[in-house]
């Protein structure tokens, strides 16, 4: 096979990340093809090649029995959804197959359960982060997502997977924001990103403008920013709090460290099941609350009553509070200060008294617990995409007999599962939950018991 060569392939399966996989020739050489679906017969051009695999680009679709028209008019221009070219049911089956593929060499197939679909596959996103740009001459403000693998922004007037009022708020910002927006090339201009968080319980919204300036320089922009927030909160009574976040660094990270409230409330209230949560402007909270209930129910079903629970990577306390009926005591570990302050309020708001919150790095706390010979009945782990640090996992071995690992990245879950098996835990099952329809993301819960 050569670079630039045209070949005919049949897509065998979808892999994590959303590409289709086909095999070529007697050697069954693997080629990954973007925007393809299992059972597609395609003419492709080889666009990159190494010793282990190739990548190809579709030149002609010869057969594609499951392909449908994307429901979003901007699907091909916007990089936010990964796959809208098949029905939701079909895509859920693919996610289940992907989960099986990732874990089949490490646990028995009957312990890998299918992905539970999201109760809503449209209008499910309750948190939106839009980068902002401005056209050179007309100074038109653009808000939307970057096209795939680029920093070309698609101006999104309507997004069918987010809550509808966010489209109107975005338009209001385009029409009313008076100051300059950020230019990545020159590193000039003030408004970099817009972050909105909306409650599924009552529709209340927090709006944060991420600015390209230090907090100490904010005085130069204070009056127009205050005027803007006054205007937007008058127009949209659902916006309960307005904030600015300072991020003057040239970085891919959206949020800077410091956030300042400009107007209104510090938080909104979200509900999951019969529990209420305060969510701040920048604290982590699940973006698809209805699907999060399915996820947290799996955790709850696997905890026995009257248990001591360590909720590690606990955020604002979402999981610990959700399972609190089964807890004689909850210990939450979290490193984000803002989330910790919300977690204190959330435990109190849900009338939970026997709790403890420990600030700082989870790994260090695990190691301290080990030194102190402290134990728990259950440890809930819900780390970021990168998973848990191996040193931290090793320290966990002596802390509990039961681990419930909630993961937003099945590949790091698999890595961490191998280590947990090595140190004496036995996986009871892995179950997928779809929190992000039409993207490649798969949330999964794995339950472990010490042998
Ligand atoms: C995937 S979120 C889960 C939050 C929470 N369990 C929930 O469901 O809302 C991961 C959380 O871990 C926190 N975090 C990331 N790295 C950490 C570390 N090394 N030590 C402690 N917390 C950490 C983040 O601030 C974030 O709140």
Query: How does pLDDT run across 254-286, given as a tens digit for each residue?
Result: 999 999 999 999 999 999 999 999 999 988 899
Instruction: Say whether both 23 and 146 belong to one domain.
Output: no
| Residue carrying structure tokens 């939307």 | 144
Atom of ligand 1 lying closest to residue 389 CA: 19
Instruction: Say whether both 187 and 233 belong to one domain.
Output: yes
Torsion (CA) 229, 230, 232, 238 in degrees, nearest 10: 100
Instruction: Say whether both 329 and 245 belong to one domain.
Output: no
Give residue 337's pLDDT. 87
Structure tokens at 377: 């009945």
User: Is any atom of ligand 1 closer than 6 Å to the C-beta of 314?
Assistant: yes
Cα 335 to averaged position of ligand 1 atoms, centre (Å): 7
Alpha helices (H) along 105-245:
165-176, 222-235
Instruction: Say whether both 250 and 306 belong to one domain.
Output: no
Choose one of 292, 384, 445 to mutate for the ligand 1 pocket test, by most ligand atoms within 8 angstroms of C-beta.
384
Q: Is residue 235 part of a domain?
A: yes
User: Is any atom of ligand 1 closer than 6 Å to the C-beta of 433?
Assistant: no
Radius of gyration, alpha carbons of the chain:
24
Query: How does pLDDT run across 320-372, given as a tens digit for each residue?
Result: 999 999 999 999 999 988 889 999 999 999 999 999 999 999 999 999 999 99
- Whole-number average pLDDT of the chain: 96
Atom of ligand 1 lying closest to residue 311 CA: 6
Q: Is residue 440 part of a domain?
A: yes
**Residue 40 domain boundaries:** 6-63
Q: Is residue 104 part of a domain?
A: yes
Going by alpha carbons, the residue nearest to atom 25 of ligand 1 is: 336
Residue 416, domain CATH = 3.40.50.150
Q: Is residue 80 part of a domain?
A: no
With beta carbons less than 8 A apart as the criterion, state whether 8 and 42 touch: yes
Instruction: Say whether both 374 and 226 belong to one domain.
Output: no
Provide the domain count of the chain.
Answer: 3
Closest CA to 176 of 217, 213, 227: 227
Instruction: Say whether both 197 and 139 belong to one domain.
Output: yes
Instruction: Say whether both 108 and 164 belong to one domain.
Output: no
User: Is any atom of ligand 1 closer than 6 Å to the C-beta of 369?
Assistant: no
Cα 407 to averaged position of ligand 1 atoms, centre (Å): 11
Q: Which of 224, 239, 270 is the last residue of a domain?
A: 270
Closest CA to 416 of 396, 441, 433: 396
User: Is any atom of ligand 1 closer than 6 Å to the C-beta of 319?
Assistant: yes
Q: 421 in the Ramachandran plot: left (φ > 0), alpha (ψ -120 to 50) or beta? A: alpha
Q: Is residue 72 part of a domain?
A: no
Residue 79, pLDDT > 90, answer no
The Cα 309–Cα 318 span in angstroms is 13
Residue 164, domain CATH = 2.40.50.1070
Going by alpha carbons, the residue nearest to atom 14 of ligand 1 is: 313
Q: Is residue 303 part of a domain?
A: yes
Atom of ligand 1 lying closest to residue 408 CA: 1
Q: Running DSSP on this structure, what letter comes out for residue 364?
A: H
Instruction: Say whether both 111 and 158 belong to one domain.
Output: no
The Cα 98–Cα 110 span in angstroms is 15
Query: How does pLDDT run across 97-137, given as a tens digit for each residue?
Result: 999 999 999 999 999 999 999 999 999 999 999 999 999 89
Instruction: Say whether both 153 and 177 belong to one domain.
Output: yes
Cα 197 to averaged position of ligand 1 atoms, centre (Å): 18
Residue 1, pLDDT > 90, answer no
In this structure, the number of other CB atoms found within 10 A of the CB of residue 311 comes to 31
């Amino acid at each position: 096979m050569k670079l630039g060569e045209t070949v005919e392939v049949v897509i065998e399966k979808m892999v994590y990340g959303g590409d289709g996989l086909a095999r070529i020739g007697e050697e069954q050489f693997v080629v990954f093809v973007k925007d393809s679906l299992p059972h597609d017969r395609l003419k492709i051009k080889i666009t990159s090649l190494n010793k282990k695999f190739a990548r190809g680009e579709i030149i002609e679709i010869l057969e594609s029995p499951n392909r449908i028209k994307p429901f979003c008019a901007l699907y091909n221009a916007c990089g936010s959804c990964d796959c809208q070219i098949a029905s939701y049911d079909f895509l859920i089956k693919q996610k289940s197959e992907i989960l099986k593929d990732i874990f089949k060499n490490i646990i028995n197939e009957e312990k890998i359960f299918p992905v539970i679909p999201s109760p809503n596959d449209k209008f499910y996103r309750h948190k939106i982060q839009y980068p902002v740009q401005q056209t050179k001459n007309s100074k038109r403000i653009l808000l939307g997502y970057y096209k795939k693998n680029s920093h070309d922004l698609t101006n999104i007037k309507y997004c069918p997977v987010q809550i509808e009022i966010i489209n109107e708020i975005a338009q209001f910002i385009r029409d009313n924001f008076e100051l300059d927006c950020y230019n990545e090339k020159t590193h000039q201009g003030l408004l970099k990103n817009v972050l909105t968080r909306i409650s599924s319980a009552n529709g209340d919204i927090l709006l944060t403008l991420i600015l390209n300036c230090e907090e100490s320089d904010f005085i130069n922009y204070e009056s127009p920013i205050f005027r803007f927030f006054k205007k937007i909160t008058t127009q949209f009574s659902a916006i309960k709090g307005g904030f600015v976040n300072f991020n003057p660094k040239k970085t891919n990270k959206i949020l800077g460290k410091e956030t300042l409230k400009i107007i209104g409330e510090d938080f909104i209230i979200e509900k999951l099941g019969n529990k209420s949560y305060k969510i701040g402007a920048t604290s982590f909270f699940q973006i698809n609350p209805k699907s999060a209930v399915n996820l947290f129910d799996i955790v709850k079903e696997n905890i026995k009553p009257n248990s001591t629970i360590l909720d590690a990577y606990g955020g604002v306390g979402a999981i610990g509070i959700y399972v609190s009926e089964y807890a004689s005591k909850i210990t939450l570990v979290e490193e984000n200060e803002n989330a910790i302050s919300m977690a204190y309020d959330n435990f109190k708001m849900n009338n939970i008294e026997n709790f403890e919150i420990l600030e700082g790095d989870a790994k260090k706390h695990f190691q301290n617990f080990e030194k102190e010979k402290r134990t728990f009945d259950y440890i809930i782990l819900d780390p970021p995409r990168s998973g848990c640090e191996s040193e931290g996992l090793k320290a966990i071995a002596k802390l509990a007999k039961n681990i419930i690992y909630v993961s937003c990245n099945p590949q790091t879950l698999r890595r961490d599962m191998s280590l947990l098996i090595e140190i004496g835990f036995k996986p009871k099952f892995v179950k997928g939950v779809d929190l992000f329809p039409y993207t490649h993301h798969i949330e999964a819960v794995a339950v472990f018991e010490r042998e």
